[in-house]
Chains A and B, each alone.
Chain A
């Protein structure tokens, strides 16, 4: 390669590496601001600010959704499989809201440790499958459960 071109290529590479380091450090320093939400273990550890509007997100725990029969109020537990936080919300939930699904809620932590949300968004995961496959997976799981239940020897 021509020496002038080699020099130019070195300058370009230096530019890219330097820029990469600068942006990497900046985003690393700002990581908490770039993250959209706090997860329940961060809230439990006290990393989330109190009495400020924050976003909290995680998975809606199975069998934790309790609806108020009189109003649109709903309470549920959100977990990251380490800690969990109880959330309260009044309003219409998005279509994808369900137990076992991810949510991101905006609101503040109340003094009683309940997160009062004024907006709940559903978080979708990267998995897609046809309904029939989902059905057969569930049936297979149920069968497997039954089989293990039967395999315990009786006296």
Chain B
């Protein structure tokens, strides 16, 4: 517990984080690329086809990881928002700013791949059911966070405003998750549950899990790269950045 608090307090120093992130970058990139590429090649090329949908089900290997991560990133942003509001930690705000566009892209990809799959499978590109609509709201929330982060010039009030917006939006996440159980939707319930065996064979879910984990690592890499840029910009007036940029 004590160690955890120590680590947490160290996070208050952007300089310390800049160095740590730099050391993690190559490992995150390499392991993320290997895992996700292997999973995608396995899933798209070698996994058996589905008895009902044939090959069109293979979009799951892109759709599920992007949708999963899109929600996961928002939860991470909400956690960072609490840290911003309570501890006023600069790094937490930098994280939110750096990853919001990544989350937006992944949400868009999830919506897009879902539409491409929905046309042949359901018979329609889009339907206003609870799952699809709440996912669209998530995309707009990401856009809102990005717009608000860019709109306020003062760093401190901008950080607080963004954190409140992120926190208010987090209510959408359980709605996305449980929409398929609470209401009648066209979207099917989750294939993966934490408490049960997945309702698909191992040669389908193992590659899927690999892509999910790989995408997490790649996200970590991208988040660190973007945060490093943000740190250099925000701390540009400090001695260490000046010395670092112009040795």
Contact = CB atoms under 8 A, between A and B. Distances in A.
Given A15-B167, A31-B183, A127 B199 contact: yes
Nearest to A32: B183
B120 interface: yes
Given A128-B199, A130-B51, A104 B186 contact: yes
A138 B85 CA distance: 58
A19 B171 contact: yes
A143 interface: no
Nearest to A5: B86
A126 interface: yes
Interface size class of B (residues with CB under 8 A): 35 or more
Interface residues of A, number: 41
A95 interface: yes
Q: State the majority secondary structure of interface residues on A.
A: mixed
A128 B50 contact: yes
A124 B121 contact: yes
Interface stretch (A34-42, A66-74, A144-152): A34-42
Q: State the majority secondary structure of interface residues on B.
A: loop
A95 B53 CA distance: 9
Nearest to B134: A34
B87 A128 contact: no
Given A8-B85, A122-B122, 13 more contacts: A5-B87, A9-B86, A15-B167, A20-B171, A27-B175, A35-B130, A35-B183, A36-B127, A94-B122, A95-B120, A119-B123, A121-B186, A126-B188
Interface of A: 5, 8-9, 11-12, 15-16, 19-20, 23, 27, 31, 34-39, 57, 93-96, 101, 104, 119-134
Interface of B: 48-53, 57, 60, 82, 85-87, 120-124, 127-130, 167-168, 170-171, 175, 182-186, 188-191, 199-201, 203-204
17 contacts: A12-B85, A19-B168, A27-B182, A34-B183, A36-B185, A39-B184, A95-B121, A96-B121, A121-B124, A122-B121, A124-B121, A126-B188, A127-B200, A128-B57, A130-B49, A130-B51, A131-B49
